[in-house]
Amino acid sequence: MINIREVKSSKERKEFVDLPFRIYKDNPYWVPPIKKNELKGFNPSNDIFKTVKAKFLLAYKDNKVVGRIVAIINLTEINELHKNKVRFGWLDYEDDIEILKALLNKVEELGKQHGTKYMEGPMGFSNMDKAGMLTEGFNSRATMIGIYNHPYYAKHIKELGFVPEAQWLEYKFGFDDIEIEKSKKLNAIIEKRYKVSNYHFKSISDLMPHVDEMFDLLNKTYADLQSFVPIEKFQVEHYKKKYLKFIHPDFISCVKDEKGKMVAFAITMPSYSAGFQKANGSMFPFGWWHLLRAMKHNDHVELYLIGIDPEYQNKGINALIFKQLHENFERRGIKTIETNPLLEENTKILQLWSKFNPVIHKRRKTFRKDL
């Protein structure tokens, strides 16, 4: 018999974080998080819970933890965007459909208590968290912010009557596929016509005053997408702490107008996936060294975030972004580039990669069920 219990104690939160380390033990494609960071992010005192209600749930069978899930009510999504749904995320479980069924039944209960019309997942507290169940690409290593799951997840959830909702694509292409010479003349024309130019951040302290501006630009860039929920100010602070330490100025491109206002940016990172695998959930004693080495000695890059002011979209501004990144990538010996998940409906962003001979090497979906 499968029992579902809500996580209440620090011991149970630790069990929640520990479970995937057992489920994906020895899996060469799963990328483990840092346990300490996960526990900190799940702490009830976290500011993220100002606009989010979440129930952390564990599944037990014969007194052993065999599954986990978070049932999520995003109040901004419901009250301001009128998307009346309950989310679920951080789903992991042993290969038994009855475990998944029991976990999702609890999410459904929470949804009905709040009067929601449907449930959808896997997704996080906000759009900055991991989302989308992997449906293709099980033999590719996950990115730092990409969900990895076993193939039986999608099989089971469809058997339980869930249907696909949103779909993401992940591209991979070679550095040599960026034909930068062809775009140099175009860059000069764009800079002159729209009075824009690149800006280089010299250090993280140089970047910090511009982070809020980047998130504002993200909200503008993706506002028209049906799945987008605006990122709020206090959430920005949370994601600064979570990801900023992994960013190096050489992997950021910024375009500003003649008044110094940011109109486009891209944040990329050397792939930390292998470093996280070697760290195996802990920064100590040597986890920090593996991540530092991944930053300094790496020929593979992940494209993390890109934002372009709607007024400057379809004007070739992306050429300036790639020119600046190309210069830094060439200097660092980058050979391959991988996008993080891109919504299939986001055709404007997908078109940015069309000239680079991209290969779709992963697909992922959220799944929906009406209540």
The per-residue pLDDT for 182 is 65
Residues 232 and 151 in one domain: no
Angstrom CA distances, 371 to 78, 218, 352, stand at: 15, 32, 38
Summarised one tens digit per residue, pLDDT across range 81-135 is 889 999 999 999 999 999 999 999 999 999 999 999 999 999 999 888 999 999 9
Backbone angles phi, psi at 14, to 5 degrees: -65, -40
Residues 100 and 243 in one domain: no
The per-residue pLDDT for 316 is 86
The per-residue pLDDT for 318 is 84
**Is 196 a residue whose pLDDT tops 90?**
yes
Residues 219 and 91 in one domain: no
The per-residue pLDDT for 174 is 86
Alpha-carbon distance of 329 to 325, in angstroms, equals 6
- Confidence band (pLDDT; 50, 70, 90) for 180? low
The least confident of 154-158, 159-163, 227-231, 317-321 is: 227-231
Q: What is the DSSP string of 225-248?
A: STT--PPPHHHHHHHHHHHGGG--
Q: For the chain, where are the alpha helices, taking DSSP H only?
A: 10-23, 35-42, 75-79, 97-113, 152-159, 180-194, 204-207, 211-222, 233-243, 273-279, 287-296, 317-332, 347-350
Greater confidence (326 vs 149) lies with 149
| pTM metric for this prediction | 0.92
What's the mean pLDDT when you consider all of the chain? 91
Residues 301 and 327 in one domain: yes
Residues 94 and 201 in one domain: no
The per-residue pLDDT for 183 is 67
Give the bridge partners for 167, in sequence order: 365
Residue 371 belongs to some domain of the structure: no
Greater confidence (32 vs 224) lies with 32
153, 170, 187: which is the final residue of a domain? 170
The per-residue pLDDT for 259 is 93
155, 170, 185: which is the final residue of a domain? 170
Residue 370 belongs to some domain of the structure: no
The per-residue pLDDT for 141 is 96
Alpha-carbon distance of 175 to 172, in angstroms, equals 10
Question: How many domains in the chain?
Answer: 2
Residue 232 belongs to some domain of the structure: yes
Residues 28 and 88 in one domain: yes
170, 191, 214: which is the final residue of a domain? 170
Residue 159 belongs to some domain of the structure: yes
Single-letter code of the amino acid located at 237? E
The per-residue pLDDT for 66 is 98
Residue 368 belongs to some domain of the structure: no
Residues 86 and 114 in one domain: yes
Backbone angles phi, psi at 161, to 5 degrees: 95, 10
- Confidence band (pLDDT; 50, 70, 90) for 235? confident
Residues 344 and 229 in one domain: yes
The mean pLDDT value for 43-63 works out to 93
Residue 367 belongs to some domain of the structure: no
Residues 196 and 122 in one domain: no
Q: For 249-358, where are the alpha helices, taking DSSP H only?
A: 273-279, 287-296, 317-332, 347-350
3-state SS string for 325-347 = HHHHHHHHCCCEEEECCEECCCH
Candidates 101, 58, 50; CA nearest to 232 is 50
Residues 157 and 202 in one domain: no
Alpha-carbon distance of 14 to 7, in angstroms, equals 10
Residue 369 belongs to some domain of the structure: no
- Confidence band (pLDDT; 50, 70, 90) for 177? low
Residues 77 and 212 in one domain: no
The per-residue pLDDT for 247 is 86
In the chain, what is the straight-line distance between the N-terminal and C-terminal CA atoms, in Å? 25
Domain of 260, CATH number, reads: 3.40.630.30
What does the block give as tokens for 301? 């890059």
Residues 159 and 178 in one domain: no
The per-residue pLDDT for 242 is 76
Domain span at 110: 2-170
Summarised one tens digit per residue, pLDDT across range 295-346 is 889 999 999 889 999 999 888 888 888 888 888 888 889 999 999 898 998 8
The per-residue pLDDT for 355 is 74
Residue 106 belongs to some domain of the structure: yes
